[in-house]
Structure 1
């Protein structure tokens, strides 16, 4: 025992100071570690590419917390300079880290608000197109969802501390809603502790909730209706071939005057005059098509009958009565417009002709399960929720699937027409599979211009090659159902450029169409009217351009006339001259040697 007391008594005073300093530093590190670990942390969102938001307690409570811990350990007077210096350096490091975290958090919040501000400005900017606005709205919604998650996290953290610290670090909002100023020099607080209104507010200082409400008020109207959609014009006049309008909501149709009215609660006032026939710019065609007024209004006539399906308003005036125009101006466009509704659509038609409507009634009945409304004589006010005025149309007698919103093709149209008339053959089989059956050739006969003057000689030559030959004329009054069955039974159809070739829509896939092109530089017109459509329908297309010797124009004009020497010069003088010279005055006398090669080529197609 004495030895132990001796050791204590001999203990060096300098050693006592060293041990005491170590204890102080150790206790300080423990308390500092406890303080840092006790700080609330926001949940990081690395998946969304966001920085974790960290809220640091105010500086004053931290100083109090440090003092408390040092009193519990007991303050030691007379510590050496090295110990005091280490303590001060430790405090400065912690303080520097807190400032860095606060700065990162502020920058992240400012970036977030800058994005919201830019989106609001873009959505308000009339120069931004609808596609850009839709993209911005989608991005804005994602940002809004992220911001709500961040704000929810921050709210939970602040409630756990009893106060909400603004991300700028300059204002503290307590649970009872009052505010105090942490940084009096920030310019955001008055001496009484109330927030100072800012004349030129920074996006980082804008209340996100108010900004969201502002954005919502720009995008949505009463009842949550999309205002961007309402601002879209009722009609689209941008297409080169057709003007089309599409209306949603409370739509009322009445013939006196011919009008389609969108009844709306907004201040928008629109009025459009539309001729619903796909021959835009063709005054001769549109002269037979009445105008339909499409407008928006706060009032409309009372409903006489309400429909639960969409309506399509269009005209069958124009050039209808010509088989080619029946199809390229009506049948094909109405397929593109109405087929998507699977029969659940109502037709409202102007300029109806009873004989013409009977002729194509099977087509209308295939596309719609409902009775046709004659716009010209029906006095009732018809009410719909969705109305399309005008038919969708593309290039002449063909379809580009890339331009069609439903991806329809000319092959789809051919399949549709075969189904309308319940035709037997969808695809032509190779002749080798039916060795006892002769390939069938149909020669389309014309009674006026562009006739084949040696048709009997043509039939004889084709029969020598092994064809079964049929000659027929699909005139205006012919039974289209009967003629469709004849066409569908054939393997090859041949005819001079004209409306009769339109019947190729009834041919089975892989059949052959031979277009005989009259003299006069008409190859481009022939391809545009029928060649492109035939290829798109997956038919084998052969174009036979006659020589000058095969044209009856040799009986009218001398061989040195521009008709033979420079036919393109007539094209440069206008379509009327081309039509009167090369279309109306000309017939053809086919060269049997040249034609034989063409018919052999058609046989080869049937063997492939």
Structure 2
């Protein structure tokens, strides 16, 4: 017998089983097995219960969950990419996520946003509720027999009181998105939301009910099955930045979930605003706007939202929107709106030119025969580029075709949109005109010249939003020698060497010195490095 045969002989065969263990040992083994398995079973049940609790209490609506693996992975890639490319702004982070961090979301918030947590209320039940939990804006929700009464700046909600118990309190709201700015909010028209018993619509014996019924007797215009969204067009409307940050973007955030099936009711309505933004508004509503302040007819609805939801300065946080829309979706809406507008005829020769003649570059660099274009926005009055001509030549030598853009107050936005369409780079000194970066193509470059003392608002208002939009953002912080303040104040003045000592005194002090008194003369040798960086980025894409 060889070695392999001897080893095989010693191994047990399938027909032979090991001898049975003693009864005591077998019992002890089974007990030990139970002691090991039972804790594992408890841990498994606890884990399953935790997952179920998280799923049921999630702050995100079921509609936000992507329906396919590909769409979910695309969203995840976008969020990861944003973490890699952003320099986070603590202020914007707190403002954008305040809905989660301040307090649990009120039930009314779900009704306003159309989220699942608002579906618990019966649709047939009339009600009035308000969400005042956010620092930037108040919002109210009304459902029932709703009638506008512009003469008393009221919205009457019949059926929201039972006529027996003391009536619910009258809610008052100033539907503007700068609640924290008490000075400007005080100028906004205040709207009263009055819950009334159903009997008031048919004539109650109560004198107050009769007065309310007389104020809204009948419906002059009945909007069947279409909700209303009431907001103010007052405040800082007239300033391009505020028109977008305080108005259009919050309007998009609040209204886009209706997919056009919503009537916009505008308090402090301005006709020029409708003309200016018609291409955008027509993609938010299929219906004519209602001028709440001047239209004395009684408009009747079954549902109304008063106020606008805002996330921050020129931003949309996709985690806070019912369907995950972001600022890029808003930019798509802008592009679709203004691309569909026929370009107006060129201005008459005697009119001041909006676009100066294009300055061509003969330089051949990394882009080869292609000459990228830089659009330089110029200002009048304050924060003026004092060496604009020399700057244009520097841009030309870098390899850019140079387009000087000088927008006027009445310049149609579609004209500016078409002017920016071929631009690869936008350059401007900090100010409202920077808002035009919303018209830039993805992966384009935004260069912001930041005067002294304006580093924080430059980053918060334009830097962070530009990154969220997917632009390459370059900030050029000037030195004291590049500021016109250098010739006004002593060189050791805190205004030049310790700007925070001035800006810490508040917005008015900062505005008086750094916004209203300052012009810029660029150090072109230093600034050319920023231009070279922008040129390299453009050619690389």
TM tier relative to shorter chain: 0.5 to 0.7
In 2 relative to 1, CA 537–458 (structure 1 residues): closer, same or farther, beyond 3 Å? Answer: same
Give the Cα–Cα distance (whole angstroms) in 1 for the partners of residues 284 and 449 of structure 2.
Answer: 34
Name the counterpart of 1:357. Answer: 274
C-alpha contact (below 8 Å) 1:322/1:476 kept by paired residues: no
C-alpha contact (below 8 Å) 1:438/1:468 kept by paired residues: yes
Show the 5 A alignment for 1:161-172: none
Higher relative contact order (CA 8 A, sep 6+): 2
Name the counterpart of 1:561. Answer: 493
Name the counterpart of 1:251. Answer: 146
Give the Cα–Cα distance (whole angstroms) in 1 for the partners of residues 464 and 149 of structure 2.
Answer: 40
Name the counterpart of 1:436. Answer: 369
Deviations 1:28-83 (A, max 9, x none): xxxxxxxxxxxxxxxxxxxxxxxxxxxxxxxxxxxxxxxxxxxxxxxxxxxxxxxx
1:305 alignment partner, one of 197, 221, 244: 221
Show the 5 A alignment for 1:148-547: 226=121, 234-264=129-159, 266=162, 267=165, 268-298=167-197, 299=200, 300=213, 301=216, 302-308=218-224, 309-422=226-339, 435-520=368-453, 522-547=454-479
1:590 to 2:522 alignment: yes
Give structure 1 regions of 4+ aligned residues with deviation exceeding 4 angstroms. Answer: 225-233, 431-435
Offset at residue 561 of structure 1 (A) = 1.0
Offset at residue 281 of structure 1 (A) = 2.5
C-alpha contact (below 8 Å) 1:441/1:469 kept by paired residues: yes
Higher helix content, 1 or 2: 1
Unpaired runs of 5+ in structure 1?
Answer: 1-130, 135-224, 425-430
In 2 relative to 1, CA 545–230 (structure 1 residues): closer, same or farther, beyond 3 Å? Answer: farther
Offset at residue 354 of structure 1 (A) = 2.0
Give the Cα–Cα distance (whole angstroms) in 1 for the partners of residues 512 and 261 of structure 2.
Answer: 45
Give the Cα–Cα distance (whole angstroms) in 1 for the partners of residues 189 and 365 of structure 2.
Answer: 54
Offset at residue 230 of structure 1 (A) = 6.3
Range 280-289 or range 333-342, more displaced: 280-289
CA root-mean-square deviation: 2.5
Give the Cα–Cα distance (whole angstroms) in 1 for the partners of residues 427 and 170 of structure 2.
Answer: 48
Name the counterpart of 2:64. Answer: none
C-alpha contact (below 8 Å) 1:488/1:508 kept by paired residues: yes
Show the 5 A alignment for 1:2-41: none
Secondary structure of 1:490's aligned partner:
coil
Unpaired runs of 5+ in structure 2?
Answer: 1-55, 60-119, 201-212, 342-363
Offset at residue 291 of structure 1 (A) = 0.6
TM-score (norm 1): 0.60
Offset at residue 434 of structure 1 (A) = 7.9
Offset at residue 405 of structure 1 (A) = 2.4
C-alpha contact (below 8 Å) 1:423/1:488 kept by paired residues: no
- How many residue pairs get matched? 381
The higher radius of gyration belongs to 1
Give the Cα–Cα distance (whole angstroms) in 1 for the partners of residues 394 and 260 of structure 2.
Answer: 47
TM-score (norm 2): 0.67
